[in-house]
Structures are given as C-alpha cells and as structure tokens.
C-alpha cells in the first residue's frame, strides 16, 4: 500500500486518480467521480479492492469540498485544475460508497485496521457527514 498519511489523497492510487480527473473535460469530471462511486457500490457483498476504495474516497473529498462544511482539496497530490460545480445527485452515491468502504469485506478497511486506522476512519466518516448533511442542499455554491 503506497500510503503516507490518512488523507484522501495521501496514497499512490488517489494521486494517480487525480490525473484522470484532470485529463477529463470539464463536462466529464462529474462522470469520473460517479464511476468511482458506482464501482464501489456495485461490489455489493463481494470483496472490495483497496484501489477502488481509494478512488472513491478521493472522489468524495472532491465532492465534499463543494459542500457546506467541506474542506478544500489543497494537497499537491489532488487535481491541479479546479472542478466545475458538481451535481448534488452525486452526494447520496458518495455516502453509499463510503459506507461500503467501511463495511467488510473491504481490503482498505482491513489494511487500516492492521495499523490502528481509527484516524483514517474518522477522516472517512467526516467526509460522509459533510456529504450526508449537504444532501438536501443546492448543487453548488456559486
């Protein structure tokens, strides 16, 4: 696991994912995030690969940054280009994906639990709370 800290972009997979977000056209960026959430959700009760989870957490951080109470993504490992306003309809998908990541069988959850991952879980839960609380809000803060 190429991970150096607990943040959403503090791992190789999420840093690489940032390039995919940057390469997408402005109108396709939301679809890149939607795909990351969908891939996690569609695992159902099957084993969830850590790379899929890392991408969904990074996507959730990008979405949460546009919500009330969300923190901006300022790390150099995040996307270099600003994201356009993202659709509010992504928020429930992000919440569902984050819930799945924190539910067995999840490789990323297992890896973090091996190294006392309570701080990592707190980061994921905070993203979830921001996204869940913003679920009834508007699509963007213009």
Q: How do residues 80-127 score in pLDDT, each as one tens digit?
A: 999 999 999 999 999 999 999 999 999 999 999 998 899 999 999 999
Residue 11, classed as helix, strand or coil, is strand
Question: Is the distance from CB of 47 to CB of 113 less than 8 angstroms?
Answer: no
Is pLDDT of 128 > 50?
yes
Prediction pTM value: 0.92
Q: How do residues 21-77 score in pLDDT, each as one tens digit?
A: 999 999 999 999 999 999 999 999 999 999 999 999 999 999 999 999 999 999 999
Q: Which helix (H) or strand (E) holds 12?
A: helix 12-23
Question: Is the distance from CB of 96 to CB of 41 less than 8 angstroms?
Answer: yes
80 contact partners, CB below 8 Å, separation of at least 6: 18, 22
pLDDT value at residue 134: 59
Instruction: Find where tokens 């996690």 sit.
Output: 40
């Amino acid at each position: 696991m190429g991970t150096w800290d607990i943040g959403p972009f503090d791992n190789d997979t999420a840093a690489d994912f940032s390039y995919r977000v940057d390469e997408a056209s402005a109108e396709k960026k939301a679809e890149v995030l939607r795909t990351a959430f969908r891939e996690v959700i569609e695992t159902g009760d099957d084993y969830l690969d850590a790379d899929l989870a890392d991408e969904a957490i990074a996507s959730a951080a990008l979405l949460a940054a546009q919500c009330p109470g969300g923190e901006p993504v300022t790390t150099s490992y995040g996307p270099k280009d600003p994201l356009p306003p993202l659709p509010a309809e992504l928020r429930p998908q992000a919440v569902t994906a984050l819930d799945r990541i924190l539910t067995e069988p999840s490789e990323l959850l297992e890896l973090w639990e091996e190294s006392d991952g309570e701080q990592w879980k707190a980061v994921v839960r905070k993203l979830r709370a921001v996204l869940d609380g913003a679920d009834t809000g508007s699509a963007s803060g213009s």
